Amino acid sequence: MPVRTFVKNCAGWLLALWPLMAHPAPIQFQSAPERTALLELYTSEGCSSCPPAETWLSGLKDSPRLWKDFAPVAFHVDYWNYLGWKDAWSDAEYSERQRGYAQLWHAENIYTPELVLNGREWHHWFSGHSGPPADDEIVGVLRLVSQDQKLWRVSFYPAQDTGARYEIHAALLAGGIVSNVRAGENSGRRLELDFAVVNLLQIGMTTSNGVAQGRFILNPATATAGTSRSLVAWVTRADELQPIQAVGGWLTAPPETRPRKD
């Protein structure tokens, strides 16, 4: 084949491929109509009783029910930082979120580790390795779509159109984090953390023809530690904490499965 013809053909191939190159396939996370549980762990690197709960949460990476039946997030609180070790993942906003639950439940105090399942205190985390029980309640479909893993479009199709106003909450999570604690209650311990919230946002949604929609920006590049990234989003009624529906998934390849002792 003459060189000129070869170059001309190559140019034609590139032009044919250009739409695919310019518009990568979107990434989409979508729930089923049944509720996907939001599983929240309130924890701290400065809390000596938290590592077992962290280990249990990390083990959920191996569960085939992850992202289908439940979506885990680990909120690192800041109220134990005074003990001598400042948790790098802690944020006062996460502590206030936990206090909001305590106020809702009329609880007298907050503590770590604390598990919250679908807006309710949950004490059975230590009893199994596959995660919380499935919830078969039909609540609606929550869908996230992005072209670049930064700008996300959200659609929520509630099972019943009640005229409610909705908000979307989204958390960027980091996993595969190794922390060598040098002070405080866990001094000398090597902690392995997963599903740690590194960015959290909340925005209002607009509803039209029974479908709530919105958009948000979360850039995975802002998280620099760990080996994996994932995203969890959940929808609530406006000004409420309790999630109605959740959805999540890996933004990077999930970490390799580690042997687990039952």
Nearest of 116, 128, 114 to residue 44 by alpha carbon = 114
Q: Which residues contact 155 (CB under 8 A, 6 or more apart)?
A: 141, 142, 143, 145, 211, 212, 213
Strands of the sheet with 120-122, listed across from one edge: 120-122, 114-117, 37-43, 70-76, 196-204, 166-175, 228-237, 245-250
Beta strands in the chain (DSSP E): 27-30, 37-43, 70-76, 114-117, 120-122, 140-146, 151-158, 166-175, 177-180, 190-193, 196-204, 206-208, 211-217, 228-237, 245-250
SS3 225: coil
Residue 258: predicted pLDDT: 46
Total-model pTM: 0.87
User: In angstroms, rounded to a whole number, what is the distance separating the alpha carbons of residues 84 and 182?
Assistant: 9
Nearest of 126, 129, 132 to residue 51 by alpha carbon = 126
Residue 194: predicted pLDDT: 97
Structural domain spans, the chain? 26-250
User: In angstroms, rounded to a whole number, what is the distance separating the alpha carbons of residues 233 and 249?
Assistant: 10
Pick the CATH number of 26-250 from 1.20.120.1200, 3.40.50.1700, 2.60.40.10, 3.90.76.10: 2.60.40.10
Residue pair 104/36 in contact by the 8 Å Cβ criterion: no
Residue 203: predicted pLDDT: 97
Residue 25: predicted pLDDT: 78
User: In angstroms, rounded to a whole number, what is the distance separating the alpha carbons of residues 82 and 85?
Assistant: 7
Residue 255: predicted pLDDT: 56
User: In angstroms, rounded to a whole number, what is the distance separating the alpha carbons of residues 57 and 131?
Assistant: 8
| Tokens, residue 108 | 């007298």
How far is residue 110 from each of residues 9, 98, 122, measured CA to CA in Å?
Answer: 68, 7, 13
Q: C-alpha angle with apex 246: 241 to 248, nearest 5 degrees?
A: 130
Residue 127: predicted pLDDT: 66
Residue 129: predicted pLDDT: 66
Residue 119: predicted pLDDT: 97
Residue 201: predicted pLDDT: 97
Per-residue pLDDT of the chain (262 residues; tens, 9 = 90+): 443 443 344 444 434 444 444 456 789 999 999 999 999 999 999 999 999 999 999 999 999 999 999 999 999 999 999 999 999 999 999 999 999 999 999 999 999 999 999 999 999 877 666 789 899 999 999 999 999 999 999 999 999 988 899 999 999 999 999 999 999 999 999 999 999 999 999 999 999 999 999 999 998 877 778 899 999 999 999 999 999 999 999 998 665 544 444 3
Q: Which residues pair with 115 in a beta bridge?
A: 41, 122
